[in-house]
Structure 1
Amino acid sequence: MVELGPGKGTLMDDMLRTLESIGQTRGRVQAVHLVETSARLREEQKNRLSSRISEASLHWYDRVEDIPKDGLVVCAFAFEFGLIRMLQTTHLPYLSRTNFLTQFLSILLRSAIIHMAKLGTYLQYTQKTRGGFQEVLVDIDRTAQTVTTSSPLVNISPSKPQSSAFCYVLSGPLSPLAHTLGNSSPRFSSVPDGSRIEVSPTSWGIARTIGELISGGGGGAGLIIDYGDDRAFGSSFRAFQKHKLVDVFHQPGLCDLTANVDFAYLKEAFGSTSTHGPITQHAFLTSMGAPIRLHRLLQGAKEDETRERLRKGAARLMDLLGMGKQYKVMGVTSGEKQGQVYPFGV
């Protein structure tokens, strides 16, 4: 089993416990590979997981590329590295810190779940012009004018403009990076001049590596779960502070930054690895029996407080006005696509 960005190890602990309770997978987990750079979190993960699997079977890596590929049956992924670059068509990109929510899981016996984790990365825009794509960069706003980051593509702009000392500028027509990113997907060639595109080459690279792990060795399967859609976004990059939407230039380094996932771009990255969907998180959880599972948990709960917590948690995940619609789920399986894979296409 492999997980990227395992945090405190809670997800992997739950998976190991669940797999041990199923006859077909009991005793089948030979090793757990964790991609984690924090020494403190590695120690916390070891303390949590050593009760489920021997310490000799726990392995840590700094990069997903370091995971051994020989004979590996991919079981779990949590993908948490995503460099987003934004291109605009005159074509435009910009740089800024971002937290990206993405998790991948692939499960043994060709069934899996992918969970997404927050991460800090760099964000870039590119903008399309008549002369091709140009990077959208961040510069000091010497006029100290009020700026906004609203976009007609994403209705998530702050309630009112906020004063900022920074502004967006174009890199110029001779940027090799903008040219490369603008041509990294055939979909980008048809966007009209003046359009901005968010591109994540780091996410592309890691998705390709995960696809190679899933398709090679013993095979595997997975799910990708995150907020986004099956298309590119032009200005989904946004900032939150104290759970409120703020301008992306507001107090740099003190805000939580995020952006939507372009699932179509990840599909292209997976190459020959088959993909399915995406579908909404509500549809996925419903098809996988979440309402029935919730009913059984409520029956087993002994306290009203526990039952209320379960109801609120399930409602938050499946709300069609929130996470249930905003989050999408895409399946990944090894080998050539042979018909629909449940619950996709149902």
Structure 2
Amino acid sequence: MRPTQAIAGSAPVRLDRFMADANAAYYAARDPFGRAGDFITAPEITQAFGELLGLWAAAVWEEMGAPAPVILAELGPGRGTLMADALRAVARAAPRFRDTLRLHLVETSPRLRAAQADRLGGAVAAWHEDPLSLPPGPLILIANEFLDALPIRRFLREGGAWREVAVVSEGGRHRFVTVPAEPPEDIRALGGGEVCEAARDLAAWLGARLAASGGAALFLDYGPADVTPVDSLQAVRGHARADPLESPGSADLTAHVDWRAVAAAARAAGAAVQGPVPQGEFLRRLGLPERTAILCRNAAPGVARSLQAGARRLMDPDAMGLLVKALAVCDPRLPLLPGFAP
């Protein structure tokens, strides 16, 4: 069902359901990544990003006691760019890890699965519709710009009563309305804000699994470290901001991650949480400046300038360095992981 069909009448549809339908239609119909698409993610900016995350996974595997086999999973793998760079790096620098890992990708879009198959070939053990279908055992999971696309609910007070944001359609146009609703206790205590139930559920599931079976999950995404988002829904189309209600399914809808809620859900399930730390600091600790310098040594001048510009974009406070955060959910028996130790 297209999102426009789902809200064709005048009955209000909850914001999270509208957002879920719109994004499902959006990702099923297009490849949104790169200059020809709607936005560019970190793996598309520089190959060093995926390489460093691959080496991060190899280091975590060593801290886990080098279990064999181990599941390496990615949520929302895009075109497979990050994982292709990661596997190339670990094949060179950590061949034992490369030999023992079993790659599993969580992807719902047939179009993007095809792109991942073209990029990664036989390296993929299986694709999954949902993280819960990942096979049992020790797990290392990576999710870059995944949580921000999960659907949110938004609660606010109006006239002394609690209300929830919804969407209606009138005359072929969509608009926000509010309907009576009861928020979760933490949102009530804050006086309102956004709730991503899917992110909380994922963090709780991962927390329980990692505490029981070992491993770690790394999330990199947008959002303030210590504030629950209040009104962060946005749409991107053609590398520019767009109206989230205009032509649902034609733009990428995202919202800031509530890192406090993610961390709380993971801890309550038995896991440890490291971070969040700003992406710029995280990548600097992993060695992005040094890796970029190595790549530039034998690169053509234009390529070298592009690599340097990409590293600055990922690390600079005025670009992605502060807005994007890194957070790890892990087995509480693990020490501080790379990128999180001062």
For normalisation by structure 1, the TM-score amounts to 0.68
Work out whether residues 133 and 182 of structure 1, in 8 Å CA contact, stay in contact via their aligned partners in 2. no
Offset of 1:275 from its aligned partner?
0.6
Question: Which residue of structure 2 lines up, in the alignment, with residue 38 of structure 1?
Answer: 109
- Within-5 A mapping of 1:154-303: 165-172=173-180, 175=181, 179=182, 181-183=183-185, 186=186, 188-192=187-191, 196-217=192-213, 219-230=214-225, 231-271=227-267, 272-301=270-299, 303=300
1 or 2, which has the higher helix percentage?
2
Q: How many residues align?
A: 268
> AA paired with 2:230?
G
Structural RMSD (CA): 2.8
- Counterpart CA distance in 2 for 1:14 and 1:310 is 14
Match of 2:75 in 1: 4
User: 156, 167, 170: which one pairs with 1:127?
Assistant: 156
Which digits, 9 at most, give the CA deviation of each residue in 1:13-40, with x for residues without a partner? 2222222223463454242222223344
- Looking at structure 1, the residues matched to 147 and 298 of structure 2 have their Cα atoms a distance apart, in angstroms, of 32
Q: CA deviation at 1:269?
A: 1.8
Q: Judging by fraction of residues, say which structure has more strand.
A: 1
Q: Find the counterpart in structure 1 of residue 130 from structure 2.
A: 63
Q: Structure 1 74/292 Cα, relative in aligned 2: closer, same or farther at 3 Å?
A: same
Q: Which runs of 4+ in 1 moved over 6 A?
A: none
Aligned: 1:312 with 2:309? yes
Deviation at 1:139, TM superposition (A): 3.1
Task: State the match for 2:17 in structure 1.
Answer: none
Identity of aligned pairs, percent? 29
C-alpha contact 2:167 2:177 (8 A) present in aligned 1: yes
Question: Aligned to 1:7, what secondary structure does the other structure show?
Answer: coil
What is the one-letter code of the residue matched to 2:292?
Answer: L
Counterpart of 1:4, as a letter, is: L
Secondary structure in 2 matching 1:138 = strand
Structure 1 residues 252-301: Cα deviation after superposition (integer angstroms, max 9, x where no partner) = 33333221111111101213211111111111111221111111111121
Distance 2:155 2:103 in 1: 39
| Secondary structure in structure 2 of the residue aligned to 1:168 | strand
- Determine which structure has greater relative contact order: mean sequence separation of CA pairs < 8 Å that are 6+ residues apart, divided by chain length: 2
Relative distance call for 1:236 and 1:68 in structure 2 (3 A) is same
Could you tell me whether the CA contact under 8 Å between 2:148 and 2:255 is conserved in 1?
A: no
Any gaps of 5 or more consecutive residues in structure 1?
Answer: 78-103, 105-114, 143-163
| Cα 1:224–1:167 shift into 2, 3 Å | same
For normalisation by structure 2, the TM-score amounts to 0.69
8 A Cα contact 2:206 2:329, kept in partner: no
Taking a change above 3 Å as real, the CA distance of residues 20 and 240 of structure 1, as seen in their structure-2 partners, is: closer
Q: Secondary structure at the match of 2:100?
A: coil
Deviations for 1:242-261, whole angstroms, at most 9, x for unmatched residues? 33324333343333322111
Q: What is the DSSP-based 3-state SS (H/G/I as helix, E as strand, rest coil) of the residue aligned with 1:215?
A: helix
Map 1:98-113 → 2, pairs under 5 A: 104=143
Moved more, 205-214 or 116-125: 116-125
Given candidates 1, 11, 15, the residue that maps to 2:86 is 15
Structure 2 residue runs without a partner (length 5+): 1-71
